[in-house]
Structure 1
Amino acid sequence: MKLLLTDSGITNGSIQDALVDLLGKPIDESSALCIPTAGYGAPDADPGGPWRFISGRSRNPMIDLGWESVGVLELTALPSIDTARWVSWVQEADVLLVNGGDALYLNHWMRKSGLVELLPSLPDTVYVGLSAGSMVMTPRIGQDFVGWKPPTGGDSTLGLVDFSIFPHLDHPACPDNTTAAAERWAAEIAGPAYAIDEQTAIKVAGGTVEVVSEGHWKLFNPAS
């Protein structure tokens, strides 16, 4: 699976170019499945958030990019659907567009639904995360970002990449997400970690990690 881990969606031309490169074809020739699940788990969640994401009316460009087709994959529904049926939907999609919200809630349902077990078998599929949709791919999110509490506790997520992500760096709507706060968070993470803003994404393909940015970001790496 190829990853485009964004802070706020496809917010500039550089990030869109990275998406097209991962797809290997134009957006209007690509089929998408959007996953709204994380939007239900945040402490301040409301039903309008997932609807805005699905309908392409959010402030985060993802669904409204001009895809050839778009479907919805709600992870909480998958345990009640025949596995072969929904697996075929995922296998046929060119890209998974994964909403923000609560990363631990999304982690829980990616595991419980069985989707995480399918991902390694999809080498050509592109996964595009938005905020929590990106953070869920990391080893852990840090206590600063724990909202919904999983039955097992902790802040561990899927660990499909070997770095963590501090999102919304210096965003006016997130006054606590300062560079100083990111430094404290990274010290607690104690592993490779990126702080990224809304004009930044992290592209992962073939074992190579590349930061794509028209904004600002910082890498914290204790090994360095």
Structure 2
Amino acid sequence: MKLLLTSAGISNASIHNALVELLGKPVAETTALFIPTAIYGIAGGQGLVREVIRGSLGDPFCELGWKSLGLLELTALPSIKQELWIPLLQETDALLVGGGDCQYLCYWMQQSGLADLLPTLLNKLVYVGLSAGSMIMTRYGTTYGNHLLPAESPKSLNIIDIAIHPHLDHEWFPSNSLDNIEKLAATIPLPSYAIDDQTAVKVVDGVIEVVSEGKWKLFNN
């Protein structure tokens, strides 16, 4: 299992080097699939998808110079024969999962069947998360409440036993101060990683390493 769980994408050379190390080859020789689904759960998400894909919003993610980049929309998959999209996942090198609403993303991961496939897929491909796309792999997720899903719907897939709190001290997220995250982390019975947009959490077969050119802090509970 190879995971690169970022706050905002491939924002600096250290995170880029970690990605190449996980891939085992340059990005230019790597195929990728991008999942934008989580962004539809936030206000204005429909208009942000294009900006994320073309790289005009946030740090490099889709526009890294991949050999090929495909789009995998989870909400469409339940109505499509699996033989049309599962081979794409089996053949890709990197799965890029974008940010937005964790609960909305988790729901469609499960409804599409991708959640059931992940344990097998993670033996081969590299999972690269951005914000909610990172959080969903942990045991802690959040929601913006803009969807109509049942309140009890899961917010994460519980793949690894940590919590990630992205966008530390970001001007767009004033509640994400270190003091506020420390108070939140105290309520979560897991190791909590507060990471800024210059930081990522790398996980290889259960071994966790922080890759950073910015600020981060681990709260152990």
> Structure 1-normalised TM-score?
0.93
SS in 1 for 2:45: coil
Aligned-residue RMSD, C-alpha = 1.4
Map of 1:1-224 to 2, 5 A cutoff?
1-42=1-42, 44-122=43-121, 123-141=123-141, 145-148=142-145, 150-153=149-152, 156-222=155-221
Structure 2: segments with no counterpart, 5+ residues? none
2:16 match: secondary structure? helix
48-57 or 70-79: which moved more? 48-57
Contact 2:107-2:154 at 8 Å conserved across structures: no
Change (3 A) 1:187 1:155: farther
Confirm or deny: 8 A CA contact 2:53 2:63 kept in the other structure. no
Query: Match for 1:110: what amino acid?
Result: M
Q: Deviations over 1:101-145 (max 9, x none)?
A: 11111011001101111111121201111101101111122xxx3
Residue 171 of structure 1 and its aligned partner are, at CA, apart by 1.0
Deviation at 1:55, TM superposition (A): 2.6
Does the CA-based 8 Å contact 2:35-2:98 persist in structure 1? Answer: yes
User: Distance between the aligned counterparts of 1:146 and 1:36, measured in 2?
Assistant: 16
Which moved further from structure 2: 163-172 or 7-16? 163-172
Quote the offset at 1:147 in angstroms: 1.6
For residue 152 of structure 1, report the CA deviation from its aligned partner.
Answer: 4.8
- Number of residues paired by the alignment? 218
Q: Secondary structure at the match of 1:100?
A: coil
Point out where structure 1 has 5 or more consecutive residues left out of the alignment: none
Q: Secondary structure at the match of 2:187?
A: helix
Shift of 1:56: 2.8
Cα distance, 1:52 vs structure 2: 1.3
| Aligned equivalents of 2:157, 2:32: Cα separation in 1 | 22
CA distance in 1 between partners of 2:153 and 2:214 (Å): 31
TM-score by length of 2: 0.94
| Identity, % of aligned positions | 53
Deviations 1:184-221 (A, max 9, x none): 11012221111000000000112211100011111111
CA-to-aligned-CA distance 1:54-95 (integer Å, 9 cap, x gap): 233322211111000000000000001111221101111100
